[in-house]
Amino acid sequence: MTTQPGTLADGFNGRKGSQWIVFNVGETEYLVDSAQIVQIEMVENVTSVPNTEPYVRGVAYLRGQVVPVVDLRVRLGLPATQPGLESRIIVIGSSARPVGLMVDSAREVIYLEKSAIAPPPEIASASGATHVSGIAVSNNRVLLVLDVDAVLQASLKLAPQSEVSQAIEQEGHTQGRESS
Amino acid sequence: MSGDGHGADFGEFKAGFLVEVDEYVQLVENALLELEGDLGTGRPDKRRLQEIFRAAHTIKALAAMLEFEPIVELCHRLESVLRAMERDILPFTATGVDTLVESTKSLSSLVEDVRSDRTLARPSAILQQLDDLLALSVDSSATLPAPSGTRLSDAGQATVSRNPTYEVRFSPTSDLVAKGVTINAIRETLSRMGELVEVRPEVDPNSPGQLTFVLIVSSEADEATLASAIGLGTGAIREISNQGPQQPPQTSPPLPTEQGRQLGVLRVDISKLDDLMRLVGELVINRARIGRAVSDLNRTDRREAVTAIQESTQQMERNLRDLREAVMRVRLVEVRQAFGRMHLVARDAARAAGRQVRLETSGEETEVDKVLVDRLTDPLIHLVRNAVDHGIEPPVDRASSGKGEVGTIRLSARPEGDRVVIQVSDDGRGIDREKVAARAAPLGFDPAQVRSDDEVLMHALCHPGLSTRDQAGRTSGRGVGMDVVWQRVREMGGSMELSTRQSTGTTFTLRLPLTLAIVEALTASCGGQRFAIPINAVDEVAEIPRREIVHFEGNEILQHRGQVLPVLRLNRLFHLGEEYPDQPYLHAVVVDAGGSRWVMTVDRLIGEQEVVVKTMADTLVRTPGVVGATDLGDGQLVLILDLPELVRAERDRHQNRSGGRA
C-alpha cells in the first residue's frame, strides 16, 4: 500500500512554504522534505541480508527495484523493535540511489517556511548528533529536521567495519542520553 | 518529417550505421597497431594496408548514405594515403603511421558526434596533415580521383572473360534494411557467389538523398539465382558482359575475398538462429496439439485430452527453457571486442607517460553477454591506463632494477562457473601503500590496515575522495577513475579484488556474471529464510549424516566419495538459527570454488527453478556471497548466493587468521 505525499497534502492547498513529512522514531518527531521522498510504504516483506551493518534491516522489492532498508531506530541509536502497523518505510531518492528508511510512523504532512527552521543548537552538534540539520517549533512541538544525506553518507563510509560500528555505538550512547 | 532534411527512417539508418561503423573503426585501430609493429622492418604488411583500406572504404560508403560529409572526406583522404603506402610511393614512416592513428581518432570522435547528434565539424587539421603526408609521395597519381567508387579486384580479369558479368543496382530503403537486405549483406553474398569487381555509390539527381549502389560482379550463376540470393528482384540485375571487359585500374588493391568477409560486423551465427527457428517450430506444433486436445474436451474422451494437455504443457516448458537458453547464446559475444580496443589505449597512455609497454591478451574467445561487454569497456580503459601511468616504471628505472625496459600488461578472461573472471595485471612497481595510507587516513581509513590488507587498500583506492596524483598522468590520476570503475563493476553485479606487491606488480581481478537476467537455481531454506543458489556453481546435492563430520582444528571436514572436503555451514556464515537441529542428516551442496571442492550445508533444499536476477549493488547491502535478489512471485525477495565467492571469502578469512592477524 502506497501513501502518496501529494494526496495527503491536498487538504493543505494554499498553505505557504514547502511540504514536509513528519515521522516518529521513538518519542522524537522528525521532519523530512517531501521533495526528497519517492514513496512511503507499509513495512512488508523486508528480507534480511547477512553480515551487513546492524542498522541495515535488509532489502525490499519496491516498484521493480531492490531497495536497501535502513532501520532508522537502530541508526539513531535506539533498540530495534518489531515493526508494527504504524511502521513505514520512507523511500528516499538520493542521486538515483533509492534507500528505504524504516520509521515508527509517518502520518502527517505540514507546510513550513524555510525561515521557520533554525539551525540545530550547539549542544547537539558538539555531541556529534550530525543527523539533525535543523529544528522547527510548530504548535509547541519540537520537530527535528533529519539530515538524510548525513545519515546515508555515514552509512556509506567505506571505513573498516570496526570504526563504523564504533561510531554507531558512540552515537547511540549520545542519543540515549539525549532522549532520557 | 524531421526538419534536418533526412527522412523519417534516418534514425533507423543511423542506428545501423553506428553498429557497423563501430566495428570497422575498431578494426582499423587494431590493424594500425599491428602496422606500427611493422615499422621495425621498414616495410608495411600489404594485406594489413588493404584491410584498413577496405574498412575505410566501407565507412565512407556508409557515411555517404547518410550524408555525413566530414566522415566521407576524412575516409577518402585516408584511402589515398593508404593506397600510396600500399603502392610504395609513400615512404612507410613512423610519422605516417602516427598520422593514420590520429586520423582514426578523429574518425571515432566524428562517429561519437553522430551518436550524440552533434553537428559534425570538418576535421581540417587532420585533413591538412594527411595532405602534407600525401605531398611526400613520389608519384602524386596515387591520389584518388574523387569520392566515387573503388575497384575492388584486379584479379578478376581472367574471371571476367570466363563468366558473365552483371550490374546490380541497389537502393537501400528502410523496408529492405528491415529484411536484412543491406549493402554489406549484398556485397558479402555476391563476393561469395562470384568475383566482385566494383562497388560504387551513385546519387540520383531526381531524388537527392537517395543513394544507389552499383555493384559489378562476375559470376557463373545466372541473374535469377543472384537476385534471389541477395533478396532483390531480377529487375535490379542486368548482364553487361558484352559491354567490354571491366578494365581494372592499376591503382586497385587486390582483394582477398575471404578476408573481406571477416570484417565481422556483429553478426549472429546462422546455426544459433537455426536453433531458435527449430524451437519456435516445436512450440507451434505444441500449441496445435493443445488446441486439438481442448476441442477434444467437448467430446467424450476427456481423460485422454487432459493427459495430452499435460504432456504438451510439459513439453512446452522444456521448449521455453531451451528457447531462453538459445536466445541467451545469441546474446553472447566474445570479450575480444572489449579487449581489442585496449591495445590503442595502452599505446596512447604509454606515449603520453613516456613508458614502453607491451599489452598481452588471452582468453579473448570467452563469451559474455553483449551488454556486459559494452559496459566493461570503460572500466577496462581506466584499469589499463592506470597500469601504464602508475604501474609501469619509466624505461630507465626498469633497466636499473634489472627488469627490462618494456613493461608488460596482461589482460585475460576466463569463465569460472557462471561468472567470467577478467584480470588486468602489470609487472610494474606495485601500489605505494605508504602513500595511499597517508592519503586515506583523513578519510577514516586505518593506515595500518591499508598497509597490510589488500582489500582495505582497494577500498581506499576506490574512495571518491582519494587521488594519489603527484605522478598523475594526463589520462588518469589513480583514484579519480577507480571509484567509477568499482561502481561500474558493482552495477554489473560483479566484484573486484586487488593484489599488489612492491616492485613486482599489481593485479586487478574482476568477477562478472556471464549474463544478466535469468539463472537456473536451487531454492534452499536456512534459518527460516529462503535462498537461491545458481545451479552452475553446484557440483552435486547430498545428504550428509551429521556424525560423519569431523572437527579438525576449529574447522569441519568430511569424507565424501573418497575425497576429504571442508564443510561450511550456511547457518553459521550468515548467523542464522538451525531449523532442524535434531535431524541426523544435513542437506548440502558440493561447490566448486575455483578448483577446490567444498561442502555447504543448508537446512532444507526446496526445489529447482529459474530466477530473474536483480543485482544488489548498494554498498549498504553488498555482502560477500550474495550476488543479488529475486522475487519468487510472492513479493518477498530471496537472496541469490554466489557460493564460490562465499567459500573464497571464508577461506581468505581463515588464511588471514592463521597468518597471525588477530
Tell me, what's the pLDDT at A15? Answer: 58
User: What is the band of B4 on the pLDDT scale with cuts at 50, 70, 90?
Assistant: very low
CA distance B374 to B18: 14
Q: Which residues of A touch B (CB under 8 A)?
A: 44-45, 47-53, 56, 58-61, 65-66, 68, 70, 97, 99, 155-160, 163
Which of the two residues, B624 and B139, has the higher pLDDT score? B624
Q: Which residues contact B46 (CB under 8 A, 6 or more apart)?
A: B86, B253
Question: Are B615 and A66 an interchain contact pair (Cβ–Cβ within 8 Å)?
Answer: yes
**At B183, which amino acid appears?**
I
> Measured at the alpha carbon of residue B391, what is the angle toward residues B388 and B396, in degrees to the nearest 5?
85
User: What is the band of B507 on the pLDDT scale with cuts at 50, 70, 90?
Assistant: very high
Question: Are B636 and A68 an interchain contact pair (Cβ–Cβ within 8 Å)?
Answer: no
Is residue B472's pLDDT more than 80? Answer: no
Candidates A47, A56, A60; nearest CB to B620: A56
Ranges of beta strands (E only) in A8-118 are: 18-25, 28-33, 37-42, 56-62, 65-71, 88-94, 97-103, 105-112, 117-118
Best A46, A53, A55, A59 member to test B by mutation, with max B CBs in 10 Å, is A59
> Would you give the DSSP letter of residue B571?
H
Best A65, A66, A148, A155 member to test B by mutation, with max B CBs in 10 Å, is A66
Which of the two residues, B184 and B380, has the higher pLDDT score? B380
Which of the two residues, B121 and B266, has the higher pLDDT score? B121
Tell me, what's the pLDDT at A162? Answer: 37
Question: Are B615 and A160 an interchain contact pair (Cβ–Cβ within 8 Å)?
Answer: no
Tell me, what's the pLDDT at B244? Answer: 43
Question: Are A45 and B637 an interchain contact pair (Cβ–Cβ within 8 Å)?
Answer: yes
Question: Are B623 and A49 an interchain contact pair (Cβ–Cβ within 8 Å)?
Answer: yes
User: What is the band of B241 on the pLDDT scale with cuts at 50, 70, 90?
Assistant: low
Phi, psi of B213 (to 5 degrees): -95, 135
Query: Strands B419-426 and B367-369: what pairing?
Result: unpaired
Is residue B205's pLDDT more than 80? Answer: no
Tell me, what's the pLDDT at A129? Answer: 56
**Of the candidates B413, B620, B387, which has an alpha carbon nearest to the alpha carbon of residue B511?**
B413
Strand order in the sheet with A141-146: A105-112, A18-25, A28-33, A141-146, A132-138, A117-118
> Would you give the DSSP letter of residue B141?
G
**Which of chain A's residues have a Cβ under 8 Å away from the Cβ of B459?**
158
CB-based burial, B126-136: b 16+ in 10 Å, e otherwise:
bbebbeebbee
**Of the candidates B624, B621, B572, which has an alpha carbon nearest to the alpha carbon of residue B601?**
B572
Maximum Cα interatomic distance, chain A, rounded to a whole number of Å: 50
Query: Strands B332-334 and A65-71: what pairing?
Result: unpaired
pTM of the model: 0.44
Question: Between A and B, how many CB-CB pairs are < 8 A?
Answer: 82
Best B486, B621, B622, B638 member to test A by mutation, with max A CBs in 10 Å, is B621
CA distance B333 to B319: 23
Question: Are B628 and A50 an interchain contact pair (Cβ–Cβ within 8 Å)?
Answer: no
User: What is the band of B222 on the pLDDT scale with cuts at 50, 70, 90?
Assistant: confident
Query: What count of other Cβ atoms lies within 10 Å of the Cβ of residue B302?
Result: 11
Is residue A95's pLDDT more than 60? Answer: no
> DSSP string covering B585-611, please?
EEEEEEEEETTEEEEEEESEEEEEEEE
pLDDT in tens, B32-41: 888 887 887 7
Rounded mean pLDDT, B534-557: 87
pLDDT in tens, B155-193: 333 333 457 788 888 877 777 777 777 777 888 888 778
> Measured at the alpha carbon of residue B469, what is the angle toward residues B465 and B471, in degrees to the nearest 5?
165
Average pLDDT of the residues of chain B: 78
pLDDT in tens, B627-652: 889 877 677 899 999 888 888 888 77
Candidates A99, A155, A160; nearest CB to B445: A160
Maximum Cα interatomic distance, chain B, rounded to a whole number of Å: 94
Tell me, what's the pLDDT at A124? Answer: 54
Rounded mean pLDDT, A138-162: 69
**Which of chain B's residues have a Cβ under 8 Å away from the Cβ of A68?**
616, 618, 620-621
Is residue B589's pLDDT more than 90? Answer: yes
Three-class SS state of B394: coil
- The DSSP bridge partners found for residue B529 are B526
Question: Are B628 and A66 an interchain contact pair (Cβ–Cβ within 8 Å)?
Answer: yes
Rounded mean pLDDT, B467-496: 61
Tell me, what's the pLDDT at A16? Answer: 66
Is the Cβ of B479 closer than 8 Å to some Cβ of chain A? no
What ipTM score was computed for the predicted complex, to two decimals?
0.75
Tell me, what's the pLDDT at A155? Answer: 53
Question: Are B616 and A66 an interchain contact pair (Cβ–Cβ within 8 Å)?
Answer: yes
Tell me, what's the pLDDT at A164? Answer: 38
Tell me, what's the pLDDT at A30? Answer: 93
Three-class SS state of B367: strand
* Residue of chain B minimizing CA distance to A57: B621
Candidates B460, B623, B635; nearest CB to A61: B635
Listed range (A35-44, B303-312, B330-339, B647-656) with the worst mean pLDDT: B647-656
**Which of chain B's residues have a Cβ under 8 Å away from the Cβ of A163?**
444, 446
| Matching residue, cell 581463515 | B654
CA distance B567 to B591: 10
Question: Are B624 and A51 an interchain contact pair (Cβ–Cβ within 8 Å)?
Answer: yes
Grid cell locating B488: 561500474
Question: Are A61 and B629 an interchain contact pair (Cβ–Cβ within 8 Å)?
Answer: yes
Contact call for residues B387 and B513 (beta carbons, < 8 A)? no
Is the Cβ of B631 closer than 8 Å to some Cβ of chain A? yes
Tell me, what's the pLDDT at B207? Answer: 61
CA distance B425 to B360: 10
Tell me, what's the pLDDT at A64? Answer: 64
- The DSSP bridge partners found for residue B359 are B409
Which of the two residues, A163 and B540, has the higher pLDDT score? B540
* Residue of chain A minimizing CA distance to B463: A158
Is the Cβ of B422 closer than 8 Å to some Cβ of chain A? no
SS3 track for B402-470: CCCCCEEEEEEEEEECCEEEEEEEECCCCCCHHHHHHHHHHHCCCHHHHHHCHHHHHHHHCCCCCCCCC
User: What is the band of B310 on the pLDDT scale with cuts at 50, 70, 90?
Assistant: confident
Is the Cβ of B456 closer than 8 Å to some Cβ of chain A? yes
Listed range (B301-310, B424-433, B595-604) with the worst mean pLDDT: B301-310
Query: What count of other Cβ atoms lies within 10 Å of the Cβ of residue B535?
Result: 17
* Residue of chain A minimizing CA distance to B456: A160
Helix axes B124-135, B94-115, angle to 10 degrees: 150
Contact call for residues B465 and B482 (beta carbons, < 8 A)? no
Tell me, what's the pLDDT at A73? Answer: 92
Helices (H), B181-244: 183-193, 223-230
A48-52, B297-301, B316-320, B414-418 — most confident range: A48-52
Rounded mean pLDDT, B384-395: 90
Q: Which residues contact A76 (CB under 8 A, 6 or more apart)?
A: A25, A26, A131, A171, A172, A175
- The DSSP bridge partners found for residue A28 are A25
Question: Are B623 and A50 an interchain contact pair (Cβ–Cβ within 8 Å)?
Answer: yes
* Residue of chain A minimizing CA distance to B619: A156
Tell me, what's the pLDDT at B290? Answer: 83
Question: Are B621 and A65 an interchain contact pair (Cβ–Cβ within 8 Å)?
Answer: no
**At B40, which amino acid appears?**
G
Candidates B576, B620, B631; nearest CB to A99: B620
Tell me, what's the pLDDT at A13? Answer: 46
Grid cell locating B650: 571464508
Average pLDDT of the residues of chain A: 75
**Which of chain A's residues have a Cβ under 8 Å away from the Cβ of B624?**
51
Rounded mean pLDDT, B425-436: 90
CA distance B472 to B251: 48
CA distance B452 to B433: 8
Query: Strands B529-534 and B626-631: what pairing?
Result: unpaired
Q: Which residues contact B129 (CB under 8 A, 6 or more apart)?
A: B99, B102, B103
